[in-house]
Amino acid sequence: MGKFVEMDHPLIQHKLTMIRQKNVGTKDFRALVDEIAMLMTYEASRDLQLEDVVIETPVATTTKMQLAGKKLAVVPILRAGLGMVDGIVQLIPAAKIGHIGMYRDEETLEPVEYFIKLPEDIDQRDVLLVDPMLATGGSAKDAISALKKRGAKNIKLITLVSAPEGVKAVQDAHPDVDIYTGSLDDSLNENGYIVPGLGDAGDRLFGTM
Ligand SMILES: O=P(O)(O)OC[C@H]1O[C@H](OP(=O)(O)OP(=O)(O)O)[C@H](O)[C@@H]1O
Ligand SMILES: O=c1cc[nH]c(=O)[nH]1
Ligand SMILES: [Mg+2]
């Protein structure tokens, strides 16, 4: 079974508490999502491979560590995942970016895929799949399947807020995928919204309420 990590860093908790509040507007919401994504990347990149490199400081020659150059791709699930990309890419500027467009049918809650564009060598890249919300898990499950169909093997899912139902759905369908989340919330309501959650992440990011 892949890892399940609920990030309990005080800065992540504090910023999540801020964006959960209904009176926080689009500008602050967007900035905070970006910051939280960056903080989560710090933890989710903990097992990136390092290699030795010989360098010269002004004082001596020494052998130190650098990133082993394993290729990464950041893949947001549109729309809401877009809000996490900048924060991640600030820490990992060499990452390529793919896009998976998906929306949840409001009646059935089933995901509908409408766009997919990935780096050509996605089969050789480790993938950070990002979406603020993991609710029923339908969107994440289908996005992971779409990535695997194109050869991606090492996939980590990064979400800000998750429902237990969504975590279980992803773990059952894709037990090899590690899940990093800012908060494991209580439940889903009858409309498929995470409780307490933060509402509709895409609408709050883009001001489309
Ligand atoms: O786990 P699930 O039940 O599939 O729900 C989660 C999905 O729902 C939201 O997207 P939405 O359909 O609202 O699209 P948007 O990002 O364009 O607003 C969210 O960003 C996830 O992609
Ligand atoms: O609570 C939820 C569930 C799905 N999508 C969201 O944006 N929020
Ligand atoms: Mg939405």
pLDDT tens column, 107-160 = 999 999 999 999 999 999 999 999 999 999 999 999 999 999 999 999 999 999
CA of 162 to the centre of ligand 3 (A): 14
DSSP tag of 13: H
pLDDT number for residue 158: 98
pLDDT number for residue 8: 86
Long-range contacts of 9-12 (CB under 8 A, 24+ apart): 9/39, 9/43, 11/39, 12/36, 12/39, 12/40, 12/182
- Atom 14 of ligand 1: nearest residue by CA position: 103
Is 57 designated active site? no
Phi, psi of 129, deg, nearest 5: -90, 125
What H or E segment, with its residue span, contains residue 44? helix 26-44
Is 20 designated active site? no
pTM of the predicted protein model:
0.96
Task: Quote the ipTM score.
Answer: 0.97
pLDDT tens column, 33-54 = 999 999 999 999 998 889 999 9
Confidence band, pLDDT 50/70/90 cuts, at residue 70:
confident
- The catalytic position among 34, 41, 104, 125 is 104
